[in-house]
Structure 1
Amino acid sequence: MRKSVFAAALCLAAPAVQAADFELPRQIAWTAYGTGSAGYNEAVAIGAALQDEAEVNLRILPAGNDVARMEPLRQGKVDFSLNGIGVYLAQEGVLAFGNDNWGPQKIRVLGTNSGGGVAMSIGVARDACDDAGKPDCEGFTYADVKGLRVAFIKGAPALNTNTSSWLAYGGLTWDDVEKVEFGGFGAAWKGMVDGTVDVAFSSTNSGVTYEVASSPRGLFWPPFDPSDEEAFNRLTAVAPYYIKSKGTVGANIDGTGGRDMAAFPYPILIGLDTTDANLAYNMTKAMFELLPAYSGKTPGIEGWAMEFQQFDWVIPYHEGAVRYYKESGAWSDAAQEHNDNLIARQDALAAAWDALKAEAPDNWEEAWAERRREALKAGGFQVAF
């Protein structure tokens, strides 16, 4: 592929290259999930495509929790973050992002992996089913997680919220299980292998789930019943970003006809509202133009295709990304209206945060929770958390 080199002010003041129809600096930096995760594996595959096709070096900074992935982006030390549902929590200013050092962030999406048959759930070590009185996991349900050892990731509110939501699906809370704390996602799943813990949350295609499935302990995904609306409502009351789906990719799922599960976009490539529009446009363009080069390199990565983008989801798209989607004919008036509403929601949260910061209440957590609810209700927005 012919490439031309010219000066650019984008990203780290590095010279840019033009490949195909996009222009990027010679080096781009992302944060991503820790090594062994599906998100990290996808970042590696995308990075290889950028290097091979455009001579762009993707520097990946793996991090074990949501705050560690968001902080470099907030400080301008990386260009983008290939993150998980923690970006929704950051947008909302809740949990770890509700303390007075953070607050609601004006997240902007470039694209998401919303297809490819990847689902999300808590996985159970098969030998733990014996402890629950369900040998070989026969008849084991989410309710049977009661009393088992469940992974809790320090500084990772997104992962823990997902675990909480699946406990709720089974009619349980953290009080019903034994909480085992870990410093990161990878460490928790190593604990699934070595017997330190019995239950942990993951996407079905994460590399660590395959490791557990092939270990002596084995791996079991409890059955999800899409017709049980009461249970699904308990799930979405904790995590409103879930949708019902068909899981066809993942440990103990590959090569089968698939199974009913639930999912949300993962991973999610984001910037901030302050991210340069041209950089966001070209990064988005590169993601789609290079899809044939990285497709098939890791399970479920095909879910980045245009047909799987969620323009009616819970976080707004960046103006630079929107420019690309408009050029591609994928963006609609309805998508624009929805995006504008999501941005207005972020603005309402930011205004409420700034006003409360000026007041400096002593009971920050309680005061912010109340002010946040008031601001969302006043604006006619959905109140989550």
Structure 2
Amino acid sequence: MLLVSHVNAMPNTLNWTAYGTGTSGNAQIMAISQLLQEKHGTQSRVIPGENDTMRMTPLKTGRVDLCACGIASYYGSEGVMMFARPDWGPQPIRVISTSMATFGLGMAVAGDVEIDSIADLEGKRLAYLRGDDALNKAAEAYLAFAGLTWDDVERVDFPGYNAAFDGIISGRADAAITTTVTPAAQRLSASPRGIQWPELPGDDESGWQQMLEIAPYFQPHNVTSGAGIDADDPLASASYPYPIMVSNADLDPETVRGLITTLVESFDEYKDNAPGASGYALENQNMTWVVPFHDAVVEYYRDAGVWTEEMDEHQNALVERQTLLMDTWERYKADASEDEEAFISGWMTERRSALEAADMNPVF
């Protein structure tokens, strides 16, 4: 086990937001909170949030120190989707740690559809979830892996996630994006249509390049748990961390140092205490991901001898990107339209122009 330091000043109380009670993300934070109390006497107050707004707003306002968030933390860093609204904008998000578990995100396809690869989705009926930008973006990224777009499939709109799988089971659609362990995927697997998961071969360099142009937060992942997936025959697919433990850039470095030290050096003491907690293992941390680490985390990894020059260059580029976006936001909103729709449209145009001028991929 990596050992760097044991004496860290931790606060008496840490305030968190996390996914709702009953979720694996919430259970993980509760297990980590118990460990922090045992090691440092730190009490944790965990506020469950049922959606991205409820989880991210307390972090924005300073009501909490940390958020065990989903991919909304990336969207917040970028100032897109819900964060393109006048009351949001790019946020100074910093990663503390992430969890990569045994499940993944995949394209669930009805088992009776003839398909050998993602490319065979062409002409098939793909679910589009109204109001769920994140999952629709994921579906777009999966299509891009095979050089396809929404124009190459028959888009079938559904009011929500469960409705989409009801639609596949009843024969009104053929596929939908989902995490492999959801009850919805299990329902499809148990239905007369069954389930199959097209692979994303890790050695398909052009496919991955096309996918990451659309959604750079994905990474290759061998999935060993999920509906119809055999742990002894992993599915070559994609995933991104869940949850993503983030703070704002100005969270006290001593607090962050104590937290990352505990997460790394006491890993064996909590890894089996909640579903997915083993995903926080040091070897699962992507040091060149899409959101910058907190400075104190960088310092810890540097002291541990695992932080490289390449990681440092990547970190600096991410901070530069975030700074550019936040500065652009401040200039833009000074004279922006008061109409929300016009505000968002204008911001996305201004954002793209600023990033392209700096030779950075706008993504959105």
* Band the TM-score falls in, shorter-chain normalisation: 0.7 to 0.9
Residues 1:378 and 2:332 are matched in the alignment: no
| Aligned mate of 2:78, from 61, 86, 92 | 92
Tell me the secondary structure at the aligned position of residue 91 of structure 1.
helix
Higher RCO (C-alpha 8 Å, min separation 6): 2
CA distance, structure 2, for counterparts of residue 254 and residue 35 of structure 1: 28
Distance 1:371 1:319, change over 3 A: same
Q: Percent identity at matched positions?
A: 30
Alignment deviations for residues 362-381 of structure 1 (CA, whole Å, 9 cap, x no partner): 63233212221222123232
Instruction: Number of aligned residue pairs: give it.
Output: 351
Residues 1:181 and 2:166 are matched in the alignment: no
Q: Is the CA contact (8 Å cut-off) linking 2:288 and 2:314 kept in structure 1?
A: yes
Question: 1:367 — aligned with what?
Answer: 346
Q: Report 1:150-189 matches (<5 A).
A: 150=127, 152=129, 154=131, 156-169=132-145, 171-173=148-150, 176-182=154-160, 188=161
Q: Report 1:184-203 matches (<5 A).
A: 188=161, 192=165, 200-203=176-179
Question: 1:354 — aligned with what?
Answer: 330
> What RMSD, in angstroms, separates the aligned Cα atoms of the two structures?
3.4
Normalized against structure 1, the TM-score is what? 0.77
Tell me the secondary structure at the aligned position of residue 135 of structure 2.
helix
Name the stretch that deviates more: 287-296 or 145-154. 145-154
Normalized against structure 2, the TM-score is what? 0.81
Residues 1:50 and 2:36 are matched in the alignment: yes
CA distance, structure 1, for counterparts of residue 189 and residue 41 of structure 2: 37
Q: Is the CA contact (8 Å cut-off) linking 1:38 and 1:203 kept in structure 2?
A: no
Tell me the secondary structure at the aligned position of residue 337 of structure 1.
helix
Name the stretch that deviates more: 246-255 or 73-82. 246-255
Residues 1:223 and 2:209 are matched in the alignment: no
Tell me the secondary structure at the aligned position of residue 10 of structure 2.
strand
CA distance, structure 2, for counterparts of residue 331 and residue 193 of structure 1: 47
CA distance, structure 1, for counterparts of residue 87 and residue 16 of structure 2: 22
Q: Report 1:1-385 matches (<5 A).
A: 21-51=7-37, 53-114=39-100, 116-124=101-109, 128-130=110-112, 133-134=113-114, 139=116, 143-144=120-121, 148=125, 150=127, 152=129, 154=131, 156-169=132-145, 171-173=148-150, 176-182=154-160, 188=161, 192=165, 200-204=176-180, 206=181, 208=183, 212=187, 216=191, 219-229=195-205, 231-253=207-229, 255-361=231-337, 363-385=342-364
Shift of the alpha carbon at 1:239?
Answer: 0.8
Distance 1:213 1:180, change over 3 A: closer
- Could you list the runs of 5+ residues in structure 2 that have no partner in the other structure? none
CA distance, structure 1, for counterparts of residue 117 and residue 322 of structure 2: 41
Tell me the secondary structure at the aligned position of residue 159 of structure 2.
strand
Name the stretch that deviates more: 56-65 or 93-102. 56-65
Distance 1:308 1:228, change over 3 A: closer
